[in-house]
Amino acid sequence: MQTLKFAVLPGDYIGPEVMSAALRVLEHVAKQEGFALSYQIADVGGAGIDNHGKALPDSTLELCQSADAILFGSVGGPKWEKLPPKEQPERAALLPLRKAFSLFANIRPGLLYPDLTDASPLKAERIPNGIDIVCIRELTGGIYFGQPKATTTLENGEQQAVDTMVYKTSEIERIAEVAAVTAKARGGKVCSVDKANVLETSVLWRKTVTDYFAKNHPELALSHMYVDNAAMQLARDPNQFDVLFTENMFGDILSDEMAVICGSLGMMCSASLGTGQNGLGKPFGLYEPAGGTAPDIAGKGIANPCAQILSAALMLRYSFGLDAVAAKIEAAVRKAVTVDLVRTGDIAFGKPSVGTETMADAIIKNL
């Protein structure tokens, strides 16, 4: 019997609520499909700060190191907002985890079911068939981690700060490969986003991507777009893209734009894949919903668990090689929302809505 060994980091506010729903779904498919789950739960984010003095406690990092994947909830909220930025739960938990496991490839599906177009701020006629795109963001390079990164005092007493955007060809090639593999499994179309009219890193990015695809994936339709234009095109006609991929900070911004045009944050899942292989010879990865901790609805049992459940499905697909089981969970979520019309408040559009556990029950029933 295959045993799936993963670390569970629920985090703060709605994090633990939606995590418990996702674990129920995983327990259910494990029993059905005949595999075993071996997971331990640990504090991260605000819970890490409150219980261990830091957002990524050493014990939590060690647990992650001994696992084959990380199922992450969400972290942060008003309680820790007054801390200096470097110590805040989001930054102080996520950035070290990305660095520690070289989680260089952030995959964010932008999927909006046709039945949920009302959830999108875009006019329905722009997205008659919903939205189905993928944003792939480089996650361990660029201006987030480049050195120097510092604030200094100049001779005249003024302060000056610097961040450094830096990329090597090897970093560009490995994210280009993830984009290519993703595009091959979809429509074969990939758009690389950069700012090659201004930035040196982008000139290198565009050249490296062009050469890499010509050599390794000539059958894919590769295009390039400047990031400012990509921001406009996403809002104008998101489905002109299939797979779009870009460097770290551009991806941070574009993936949030994509999330909002896809309607409810409660439906948005993500995978961050590492360079390393886990004990099963698959990519080690961190899987998290994109929606955040939603402090305003925490503790009420009404948060949408779909994004957390869909993130668990991505974990099965990428880190455990269980593509068919992942697809089954995705289909169960889709049916619950679009056919059974079981919906949490964020996607109910004024119609009667259900709580977190009832939503999870409906998904489990479809399995």
- Interacting residues with ligand IPM (CB under 6 A): 90-91, 94-95, 252
| Residue 28 binding result from ligand IPM, Mg ion, none, given CB thresholds of 5 to 8 Å by partner type | none
C-beta separation of 311 from 71 below 8 A:
yes
Q: Measure Cα distances from 212 to 157, 168, 184, 224, 360 in Å.
A: 47, 14, 15, 13, 43
Strand partners, 7: 40, 70
Compare residues 177 and 252 and give the one whose CB is closer to Mg ion.
Answer: 252
148: cis peptide before it, omega within 30°? yes
Interface contacts to Mg ion, rule CB under 5 A: 252
At its nearest, how many Å lie between ligand IPM and the CB of residue 189? Answer: 24
Least spacing, CB of residue 256 vs Mg ion, in Å: 5
Judge residue 24's burial from the number of C-beta atoms within 10 Å of its C-beta, 0-12 exposed, 13-18 middle, 19 or more buried: middle
201 vs 270 by CB, closer to ligand IPM = 270
The option from Mg ion, ligand IPM, none interacting with 328 (CB < 5 to 8 A, set by class) reads none
DSSP state of 265: G
> How distant, in Å, are the alpha carbons of 31, 108, 188, 232 from that of 240?
41, 17, 13, 12
Minimum CB distance to Mg ion smaller for 173 or for 252? 252
Token reading at 99:
């660095």
Token readout for 316 is: 């099965």
Q: For residue 253, which of 222, 228, 223, 273 has the smallest C-alpha distance?
A: 228
Cβ of residue 292: shortest distance to Mg ion, in angstroms?
Answer: 10
Q: Shortest Cβ distance from residue 350 to Mg ion (Å)?
A: 29
- Angle, CA of 278, 284 and 290, to the nearest 5°: 160
Indicate the SS3 state at residue 224: strand
Nearest to 139, CA basis, from 180, 169, 108: 108
| Cβ distance to ligand IPM smaller for residue 94 or 136 | 94
| Residue number, 43 or 90, with CB nearest to Mg ion | 90
Which residues are paired to 224 by β-bridges? 192
Q: Which residue has the tokens 């992650």?
A: 64
Minimum distance of ligand IPM from residue 357's CB (angstroms): 27
With CB cut-offs between 5 and 8 Å by kind, which of ligand IPM, Mg ion, none does residue 94 bind?
ligand IPM
Which tokens hold the place of 267? 């439906």
Nearer to ligand IPM, 268 or 329 (CB): 268
91 binds, among ligand IPM, Mg ion, none (CB under 5 to 8 A by kind): ligand IPM
Q: Can you say how many angstroms the Cα of residue 40 is from the centroid of all Cα atoms in its chain?
A: 21
Neighbours of 173 (CB within 10 A): 15
Active site (catalytic) residues:
144, 195, 228, 252, 256
Task: Give the other-Cβ count within 10 Å of 152's Cβ.
Answer: 10
Min. distance of Cβ 301 from ligand IPM in angstroms? 26
Binding partner of residue 52 among ligand IPM, Mg ion, none, CB cut-off 5 to 8 Å per kind: none
